[in-house]
Amino acid sequence: MEAAPPTQVAGDRSASRSAASAERAASSADRLPRAHFTAIALLLASTFVVILNETTMSVALPPIMEDLGVPAATGQWLTTVFMLTMAVVIPTTGFLIQRVGTRKSYLLAMSLFSAGTLLALLAPAFGVLVVARVVQAFGTAIMMPLLMTTVMKLVPPRHRGTVMGNVSLVISAAPALGPTLSGAVLDPLGWRGVFGVVLPISLAALTVGAVLIRDVSERERKRLDVPSILLAVLAFGGLVYGLSSLSEAAGGHTAMPPALPLTIGVVALLAFGWRQRRLQRDDDALLDLRVFASRGFSTSLGALAVAMLAMFGSFIVLPLILQEALGLEPLMVGLMVLPGGLVMGLLGPVVGRLYDRVGPRPLAVPGVVLVVLAFTGMATIRPDTAWWFVLAAHVVMSLGLALLFTPLFTTALGSLEPHLYSHGSAAVGTVQQLAGAAGTAMFIALLTARSTSLADGGATAADALTGGASLAFTVGAAVMAACTAIAVTLRRPPFGEGGPAGVH
């Protein structure tokens, strides 16, 4: 064999060194600076705290009602008013983040949350506690869109899946741990102790954030459109309240016909959309609807809405039948749903790394299939069903949702132009609230209608309840199966800043 000329060998070595140097340079460019890493870590920790607080009420509510002397219908306002406030505030966060910047948005969010937590801790009466929950909800509503917008601004596109996996860990594990934390604190410290444990953590996050958080992009001078805010209150508040009232009406416990707030919500939503389309011509929209011009964003958001609907519906129905039909104690119920929540959370970073390698479709399609299988299994639950079967079905459902959430979040926001990230995050948060309310309403309405029919036919209370749950989970499985048509169309957004062309 003839030896290569020295000049060719030298050229090959030079090319190899150049390629290696270029690879190292690209890797270095993709590496997250320490300041950015610290900011994202702090935002993750803060978001974990505010979401954890959101689910503590499920266990703390009975002691609060007993201590403050309010009936269940009144006590439920602690959760209803929180959800309503979130639904109204989240659509405005895109404007807020662009107007005041990352730092001021963070300080505002944690200041409001800390003030609300302190007020709840000291609340002398139920009315004050309701106000405290509203203030908490204002802070909570800002945090999640702020976190997602900051991630999209700071993290190189090739590593967004991994970081979004950590975001999924926060939004999945925190709700699962909330009731457990609340139960552990209630006995020794009472219901005020739930707020007392959260307060020093939120104050510490606020203090550290005041030192470390900086703006990650230039602020934009935008005017606040008051009519848009009023329409947002009527639209999203009306829809969430109306959907919540549907589940109450199914049980015969509602002070207002659900059709009224739903009608107001739909009309106001149409007016809100019309006004935003006019305002966005001058980049003054409260919620820029041009995010929906991106096919990747709209498709991913549609699948995310279906997944959220299924998750929230199961969250409300499964504990109900475990206690009322299978006769399990509340502590046992909490322990049974905890593994699934932890699986969903802890798999987030793993799924994120896989997303960076293979994209959304190979993860989302199996995720949908697993949720459908889990719901199909849950539809067979009867009063004599073994507890381990329910536990296994819940873990399978959680595994499926873990495979869905990170790819959907990342694909949705990664499909947008950078200047639309904050509005995209606000749209995602708004759809989460609406889908959660719709899922709860749908599952409870189906359960109540079917169980009432079975009870009228002579079925025992336990058989009637599990029969109603069977219908709810069967319909849920069918809805999730339809989501397969969306999952197979998902595509990884093109790498590089700016997302797809044509979204301006």
Q: What are the φ/ψ torsions at residue 258 (nearest 5 degrees)? A: -55, -25
The pLDDT of residue 473 is 93
Fold held by 290-499: Growth Hormone; Chain: A; (1.20.1250)
Burial of residue 366 (CB within 10 Å: 0-12, 13-18, 19+) is middle
The two tokens of residue 301 are 């958001």
Task: Please name the residues in contact with 6: beta carbons below 8 A apart, sequence gap of 6 or more.
Answer: none
Tell how far CA 82 is from the center of its chain.
14
Half-sphere exposure of 348 (CA within 13 A, CB side): 24
List all residues 6 or more positions away from 84 whose beta carbon is below 8 Å from its beta carbon: 237, 240, 241
Q: What does the pLDDT read at residue 116? A: 93
Q: Is-contact 463 382, C-beta < 8 A?
A: yes
Rounded to whole angstroms, how far apart are CA atoms 350 and 356? 10
Residue with tokens 């305002």: 279
Largest CA distance in the chain: 96
pLDDT at 331: 65
Asked if residues 246 and 437 have their Cβ atoms less than 8 Å apart, the reply is: no
Note the pLDDT of residue 16: 47
pLDDT computed for residue 474 by the predictor? 93
pLDDT at 504: 33
Amino acid type, 112: L
Of how many residues is the chain composed? 504
d(CA 247, CA 241): 10
Give the sign of the dihedral formed by CA 64, CA 66, CA 68, CA 72: positive
The token duo for 503 is 């979204």
Token pair belonging to 446: 């189906």
Q: Exposed, middle or buried, 13 (CB in 10 Å: 0-12/13-18/19+)? A: exposed
**Contact residues for 123 (Cβ-Cβ < 8 A; gap 6+):** 129, 132
Could you please state the CATH topology (level 3) that the domain comprising 34-221 is classified under: Growth Hormone; Chain: A; (1.20.1250)
The parts of the chain modelled with pLDDT lower than 70 are 1-32, 58-59, 72-74, 76, 172-173, 176, 179-180, 183, 216-220, 222, 247-256, 330-331, 334, 495-504
Q: State the sign of the Cα–Cα–Cα–Cα dihedral 179, 405, 286, 97.
A: positive
Q: How far apart are CA 325 and CA 317, in angstroms?
A: 11
